[in-house]
Amino acid sequence: MEIKIAVIGGTGVYDPDILNDIRDEKVSTPYGDVELKIGKHQGIMVAFMNRHGEGHSIPPNMVNYRANIDALKRLGVKNILATAAVGSLNPLMQPGHLIFVDQFLDFTKFRQQTFFDGGSAGVVHTDMTDPYCPELREVLSLAAQSQGLTYHNGGVYVCTEGPRFETAAEIKMYRMMGGDLVGMTGVPEAPLAREAEICYATIAMVTNFAAGISPVRLLHQEVVDTMIQNGENMRKLLMQAIARVDIDRACACHNIA
């Protein structure tokens, strides 16, 4: 049975307990080996990848994004639902809310951004007008509605290099530029998925208001704790969304040419 759906678990989403009949799998890629799990949900084969490794051992700036996306492509995946913990710059997007982002601003600095490095790999200038699959975002919205979850279908995700949190001045700048959320993993994950011709959507959960907006200092453990506390909502959403995805549909995301 083909594996056409993958879940990438971010901070606080480490356990693929939404799946049954789970097995470990190692996939070799030109960028390194990737360990993940494969299971079933309502008879649908799903790959589950822990973005930060066992025990959250890989910081966001050190994640091997190219290996991760290439491994999913080699498994035949055509749809990725990625989870992410984010800080909010928008007072309407409050802790505990789910946001299905539709745009990003890239402030990363040192990451490998493409599979097309020139030479034998060629050079491709990929269109990123809509970096997140509109069809998957609609699936997520319908799934959230069915579960009575508070969500926003759309938002601008600001991706920073990390692993440090942002300064209050940086957050002020990001707000002036139209950012709604801030995180550290959305890029290059989304562009690489597009290059791999895979539909990609991010389920961002707000864990806190960002620096200068929040009245308290930011601690990573508080981010993890908030994600764990809201884990049941994330599981409900993922289970509903997986069941609603038409794995055989055609989509513009599947052709970058």
Cα angle for residues 53, 57, 60 (degrees, 5° grid):
80
Instruction: Give every residue of the chain whose pLDDT is below 50, as ranges.
Output: none
Beta strands in the chain (DSSP E): 5-9, 20-29, 32-41, 44-50, 79-88, 98-100, 103-107, 151-152, 156-160, 181-183, 199-209
CA distance linking residue 242 with residue 81, whole number of Å: 9
Under 8 Å between Cβ of 244 and 238 = no
pLDDT in the model for residue 52 = 86
Note the pLDDT of residue 70. 98
Contacts of 257 (CB under 8 A, 6+ apart): none
Q: For residue 164, give the CATH number of its domain.
A: 3.40.50.1580
CB 95 within 8 A of CB 226: yes
pLDDT, residue 103, reads 98
pLDDT tens digits for range 58-80: 999 999 999 999 999 999 999 99
Q: Which domain holds residue 167?
A: 5-254
Q: How does 25-52 read in b/e, with b if 16+ C-beta sit within 10 Å?
A: bebebebeebebbbbebeebbbbbbbbb
- Cβ-proximal residues to 111 (8 Å cutoff; 6+ apart), any chain: 61, 65, 161, 187, 188
Burial of 113 by CB count in 10 Å (0-12 exposed, 13-18 middle, 19+ buried)? Answer: middle
Contact 184, 162 (CB under 8 A): yes
The pTM of this model reads: 0.93
- 204: phi then psi, degrees, rounded to nearest 5: -95, 130
172, two tokens:
């002020």
- On whether the CB atoms of residues 111 and 209 are closer than 8 A, the answer is no
The whole-number pLDDT of residue 15 equals 66
Q: Do the Cβ atoms of 140 and 237 come closer than 8 Å?
A: yes
What's the total number of domains in the chain? 1
Tell how far CA 216 is from the center of its chain: 26
Length of the chain: 257
